[in-house]
Structure 1
């Protein structure tokens, strides 16, 4: 089964970005960084989500991100589905930290249970078909609105969402152009999906 082996963020300053992600989220092999000055404006068409076990851990990670230089897009708050907040890293990447739990069951930690890459796409049904044809297995699907693929052996789960709905969830305008500043690595080979997101063979991705 095809899975994401790693994701690479293309950033202007990899050293500064590495310092941020280590300090804010304690990320290691799940995330790689690569220097790039590719033009990009507005919403880049994707978000990254960290799913955690309880509200106090949401607070812990969001506070650490803000202290490390992130900008708040949606302050941490309760909702019908749980508790979470959205921040934008100094390199421009949008991160959501959330839990479905309504109450704490233990001390706050800095650990997350799952990392999810949400791609904002023009046609969820067409993009779902594209990825299924390349070996990804559907874990959950809600018609033409949302699709989540099984993570397999990889550390990152892939999901598809309507671009405008994803931007709204992140708290930013949907308009944007230029590079996504994102490269996915997996065992399905090199290709570009219908919305311009690039994949490369896992062996071609540089070391963290």
Structure 2
């Protein structure tokens, strides 16, 4: 049964961690995402790449460096040092709980004093079949914002606090700087108006009041 578009808003991303107090302290110090990111205790088995990247989009390189710096100071490890590329400037870190974070901007140089403001919080799912997973989410009522065939899909979840995008699993792993192999729990869930279901790649959605 389809849901209407405004029910597809994502309220928060929930990370399952072994030590919720330590994870909450890390994320507050590193990024300060507030209610958009939640943690809860779990000892579910997982290994290798968990199949997703949490991406923070910011205005300029100084903000990228500031957020990566605070994450590393709080205990994150660097997977890909921040650097310029043809698309902008960014780097990748791994949190102590194992989640992978990419902090990036389309700007290649600072144009003024930087802040720590995060423009967009995007969850990039690395999926086995982009077209099939796209169809699944469209059937759930999500609108496609951008689509590049079987390569990349970004959904229009406005006015959501969190955005959702799809990428091929191997391409996502390469972007994160890790091997694509992995198994077990994703240790991540969404909460929002879409109700409770599991997508074709095993990512779990929960009702907003779960």
TM-score (norm 1): 0.97
- Residue 35 (structure 2) aligns with: 29
Q: How much has 1:108 moved relative to structure 2?
A: 2.2
Task: Describe how 1:1-208 pairs up with structure 2 within 5 A.
Answer: 1=5, 2-204=8-210
Give the CA RMSD over aligned residues. 0.7
TM-score (norm 2): 0.96
Q: d(CA) in 2 for partners of 1:88 and 1:187?
A: 29
SS at match of 1:203: coil
Q: d(CA) in 1 for partners of 2:36 and 2:98?
A: 18
Consecutive aligned runs of 4 or more in structure 1 exceeding 6 Å deviation? none
Task: Give CA deviations for 1:127-152 in whole Å, capped at 9, x if unaligned.
Answer: 00000000111000000010000122
SS at match of 2:34: coil
Q: How much has 1:179 moved relative to structure 2?
A: 0.3
SS at match of 1:66: helix
Unaligned runs of 5+ in 1: none
Task: Give CA deviations for 1:49-99 in whole Å, capped at 9, x if unaligned.
Answer: 000000111000001101110000000000000000000000000000000
Q: d(CA) in 1 for partners of 2:142 and 2:112?
A: 36
SS at match of 2:35: coil
Task: Give CA deviations for 1:120-172 in whole Å, capped at 9, x if unaligned.
Answer: 10000000000000011100000001000012221000000000000000000
Q: d(CA) in 1 for partners of 2:113 and 2:90?
A: 17
Q: How much has 1:113 moved relative to structure 2?
A: 0.3
Q: d(CA) in 2 for partners of 1:178 and 1:140?
A: 30
